[in-house]
Homo-oligomer: A and B are copies of this chain.
Amino acid sequence: MSATLQDVATLAGVSIKTVSNVVRGYQHVRPSTRARVQAAIDELGYVPHSIARRLATGTTGMVAFALPAIETPYFAELAALVSTEIGGFDYRLLIEQTSGSLDDERAVLRGREQGLIDGLIFQPTELDADAIEQFRGSTPLVLLGEIPPPPTVDHVMVDNIAAARAATFHLLHSGRTRIAFLGYAAAAGHATASLRAEGYLSALEDCGAHRSDDLLIPMQRFGAFAAEAAVIDAIETGVSFDGLVCFDDLAGIGAMKALARAGRVVPDDVGVVGWDDILMSNFTNPGLTTVRPDKPTLTRTAFRMLRERMDGAGGPGRHETVGFDLVVRGSTAS
Contacts and interface: CB of A to CB of B under 8 A. Distances in A.
A51 B54 contact: yes
A96 B92 CA distance: 8
Size band of the A side of the interface?
35 or more
A228 B285 CA distance: 13
B70 A76 contact: yes
Nearest to A254: B283
Nearest to A255: B283
Interface in A33-76: 47-52, 54-55, 60, 62, 69-71, 73, 76
A62 B54 CA distance: 15
Interface stretch (A78-86, A165-173, A302-310): A78-86
A71 to B, nearest CB: 4
Nearest to A280: B280
Contacts of A76: 70-71, 73, 76
Interface stretch (A24-32, A110-118, A177-185, A210-218): A110-118
A95 B4 CA distance: 26
25 contacts: A47-B110, A47-B113, A48-B113, A50-B115, A50-B116, A51-B51, A51-B60, A52-B115, A55-B55, A62-B94, A70-B79, A70-B80, A71-B76, A71-B77, A71-B79, A83-B97, A92-B94, A92-B96, A92-B116, A94-B94, A224-B282, A228-B283, A254-B283, A284-B285, A285-B285
